[in-house]
Structure 1
Amino acid sequence: MSIIEKAADKLEKEVKPHVQQAPAAPVDPAPAHGENGVPRDEPGPDFQSSPALTSKRITLDQAKMRQYGIVTPAQGRTQIAEQFRVIKRPLLTNAFNKGPGMIKNGNLIMVTSALAGEGKSFCTVNLAMSIAMEMDRTVLLVDADVARPSVPKILGLGTERGLLDILLDDKLELADVLIKTDVEKLTLLTAGRRHTHSTELLASQSMGELLKELAERYADRVVIFDSPPLLLTSEARVLASQMGQIVLVVEAERTSQQAVKETLRQIESCDVVNLIYNKAGSFSGGEYYGYYYHESA
């Protein structure tokens, strides 16, 4: 039985409870512009540099985050917090395993979905916040949904220079676009200005070098990417080929088995795939709303 058939079989048999979330509204993409024949976009009229771009530090609105169902450090032991503690543990084990089963770039984790609206950004931010509460780990949250970023809305960010900007500008350093937060171990990298050739940028040598730096520069760092939906964009497939681990969010009673099979087929080159069965109705005795499996492709 193939990895796709196994995953689909598990998805049919396992129905786990999940805490409901408040969906984040997508941001409409800005128009693209060319300059002197070079496919390089300029920021739209609403592009503004917030104080975070200068100070490199922001204070998150944790009260607003809790309204979205996001785990926060001061929240204590909640059902969502406990569920993401379970979710993150195998991811962290894989990320920092130095033994025979060591996974290349295991600390690079992409969260994606087959379709839009399945809750991937909700899961991405919660996973990042949960890992940021670890005693000996730091986390970098990268908004790689370059066409329709949702992380800024959830965290209350403005439009910042970010991932695509550093890929476009050789003079821009990673440190110039990283945003520190008042959550001590959480740092952010936004998507940056939109670009018509974002797929090519994510597949470029510059992106490969950036991922290498992110994976190797800090031994305790987990890098979590909020990716576009796999079946709707080409950017997600490019990112998937460079990840050590992938988390696939599947919406209960909405995502078809065929969509799940096709999505898994597109990421089967990744040795570690994790599935979260999201938005499932709670029932007595349930402990966890997803399942995890690890199998070499």
Structure 2
Amino acid sequence: MRDAGMVTAAGGRTNLLEDFRVIKRPLLKRAFSEASAPGRPNNLIMLTSSLPGEGKTYCAINLAMSIAMELDHTVLLVDADVARPSVLRTLGLPAQRGLMDILLDDKLDLSDVMLRTNVDTLSILPAGTSTPRATELLASSTMTSLVTEIAHRYPDRVIIFDSPPLLLTSESRVLASHMGQIVMVVEAQGTTQHAVKESLRQLEGCSNVNLIYNKARDIPGIEETYDYHYG
């Protein structure tokens, strides 16, 4: 992960590590406060973007790793980009059963498909088997029960969802209806203002929407930096 430019506990003090320390702090502060909307616990955090390629999976993994370094929290990273899952591929792991399989098979339990990692405080729920019924499954009562369970099973847990892009699928809008916090990744010099405005319009009704300005280069030759804003 360090070679891939990811946040790691053994990677030393880097600009990237410091960036995600800044990013995670207000999210954690809000995660365990009273939910602003019924049924949307604030420890459910969705990362999304307007379009593919803006770095949402990269940010989701780094945010999860950064939170896993906390002394008082555990993290579940959910690959909810069910049409184009990339969390396991980014981490060099083979595809496995996961979220969609739980929603399709009521005999499966979360523990049957959740992956443990070599970081004790970090677990992963893969996207699972691809299905054309993904939107309906994410909007189902089974999904509501699942997110309620994972939000409340452990009092110190933060759940990070890597979501599909907002402007390509309907799954992301359905998924957002379960979330307490939304983080939208915006690619510097790549995402148009129109795309950002349209994505934010689709998130109307979600009170806790935040932006990560990704891939910004302020000084030539300096590694990528991230700028974080509340929306």
**TM-score bin (small chain):** over 0.9
Cα distance in 2 for partners of 1:215, 1:151 equals 20
TM-score using structure 2 length: 0.94
Paired residues of 1:161 and 1:193 also in contact (CA < 8 A): yes
Letter in 2 for 1:137: H
Q: Residue type matched to 1:258 in 2?
A: H
Structure-2 residue corresponding to 1:290: 227
Alignment of 1:92-107 (within 5 A): 92-98=28-34, 104-107=40-43
Question: Could you say what secondary structure the match of 2:167 adopts?
Answer: coil
Residues 268 and 158 (structure 1), Cα distance of their counterparts in 2 relative to 1, 3 Å cut: same
Return the offset for 1:254.
Answer: 1.1
Residue 29 of structure 2 aligns to a residue in which SS?
helix
CA distance in 1: counterparts of 2:36 and 2:137, whole angstroms:
31
Give 1:76 deviation, angstroms: 1.4
Partner of residue 9 from structure 2, selected from 49, 52, 73: 73
CA distance in structure 1 between the aligned counterparts of 2:19 and 2:67, rounded to whole angstroms: 12
2:173 partner SS: helix
Q: Over alpha carbons, which structure has the higher Rg?
A: 1
> Which residue in 2 is equivalent to 1:113?
49
2:183 is aligned to: 247
Superposed counterparts of 1:209-228, under 5 Å: 209-228=145-164
Percentage identity across aligned positions?
63
Match of 2:18 in 1: 82
Per-residue deviation, 1:159? 1.4
The separation in 2 between residues aligned to 1:233 and 1:290, in whole angstroms, is 26
Q: Which runs of 5+ in 1 are unaligned?
A: 1-64
Residue 205 (structure 1) aligns with: 141
Q: CA RMSD in A?
A: 1.8
What letter is aligned with 2:47? Answer: V
Q: Which runs of 4+ in 1 moved over 6 A?
A: 100-103
Provide the residue aligned with 1:195 in structure 2. Answer: 131
Q: Distance in 2 between matches of 1:70 and 1:178?
A: 21
What is the CA deviation profile of residues 25-56 of structure 1, one whole-angstrom value per residue up to 9, with x for unaligned ones? xxxxxxxxxxxxxxxxxxxxxxxxxxxxxxxx
Q: How far apart are the structure 1 equivalents of 2:36 and 2:155?
A: 18
> Aligned residues, how many?
227
- Scaled by the length of structure 1, what TM-score is found? 0.73
Task: State the alpha-carbon separation in 2 of the partners of residues 255 and 242 from structure 1.
Answer: 26
Q: Is the contact made by 1:273 and 1:292 (CA closer than 8 Å) also made in structure 2?
A: no
Query: Is 1:131 aligned to 2:67, yes or no?
Result: yes
Structure 2 contact 36–207 (Cα < 8 Å) conserved = no
Structure 2 unaligned residues grouped into runs of 5+: none
Question: Counterparts of 1:68 and 1:149 in 2: how far apart (Å)?
Answer: 18
Is the 2:36–2:180 contact (alpha carbons within 8 Å) kept by the matching residues of 1?
no
